[in-house]
Amino acid sequence: MAFRTLAATVLIAALSPAPAGAAATVASFAVTPSTTQAGASPNLVAAFSFTEPATGVKTIALGLPAGFTAQAHAIQFCARKNLARNLCQPRTKAGSLSVTAIAYGFDLAVTREIYNVRPLRAERLRLGLPITGSYSHPGIAAEVAFVARPSDGGLDMTLTGLPTEVANVPVRIKDVKLRLRGTGRVKVGKKVRRQPFLTNPALCAPATSSLQLTLYEAPTAPLTSFSSFTPTGC
Residue 228 in any domain: the answer is no
Q: Which residues span the domain enclosing 103?
A: 2-201
Out of 15-19, 38-42, 126-130, 131-135, give the one with best mean pLDDT.
38-42
Residue 167 has pLDDT above 80, yes or no: no
Residues 212 and 90 sit within 8 Å (Cβ to Cβ):
no
Confirm whether 21 is domain-assigned.
Answer: yes
Phi, psi of 10 (to 5 degrees): -70, -40
The letter for the amino acid at 91 is R
Query: What value does the mean pLDDT of the chain take?
Result: 84
pLDDT at 168 over 70: no
Report yes or no on 233 lying in a domain. Answer: no
Is 215 within the bounds of a domain?
no
User: Is residue 69 one of the residues assigned to a domain?
Assistant: yes
- CA atoms lying within 13 Å on the CB side of residue 50: 25
H helices of the chain, where? Answer: 2-13, 80-84
Lowest-confidence range among 1-10, 148-157, 196-205?
1-10
Let me know how long the chain is: 234
In-domain check, residue 132:
yes
Does a structural domain hold residue 190?
yes
CA–CA separation, 111 and 114 (whole Å):
10
CB atoms within 10 A of CB 43: 16
Beta sheet of 171-180, edge-to-edge order = 26-33, 44-54, 171-180, 93-103, 106-117, 125-130, 141-148, 155-159, 57-63, 207-215, 223-229
Select the more confidently predicted residue: 216 or 25. 25
Surface-to-core class of residue 6, CB atoms within 10 Å of its CB (0-12 exposed, 13-18 middle, 19+ buried)? middle
SS3 12: helix
Residues above pLDDT 70, as percent of the chain: 81
Query: pLDDT tens across 104-162, in order?
Result: 777 888 898 999 999 999 999 999 998 765 666 667 788 999 999 999 999 999 987 55
Q: Could you tell me the pTM of the whole model? A: 0.83
Q: Which regions of the chain does DSSP assign to beta strands (E)?
A: 26-33, 44-54, 57-63, 69-70, 93-103, 106-117, 125-130, 141-148, 155-159, 171-180, 183-188, 191-196, 198-199, 207-215, 223-229
Q: Cα 209 to chain center, whole Å?
A: 14
Has residue 180 got a pLDDT over 60? yes
| Total structural domains within the chain | 1
- What pLDDT does residue 22 have? 56
Residue 158 lies in a domain: yes
Contacts of 28 (CB under 8 A, 6+ apart): 47, 48, 49
CB 194 within 8 A of CB 224: no
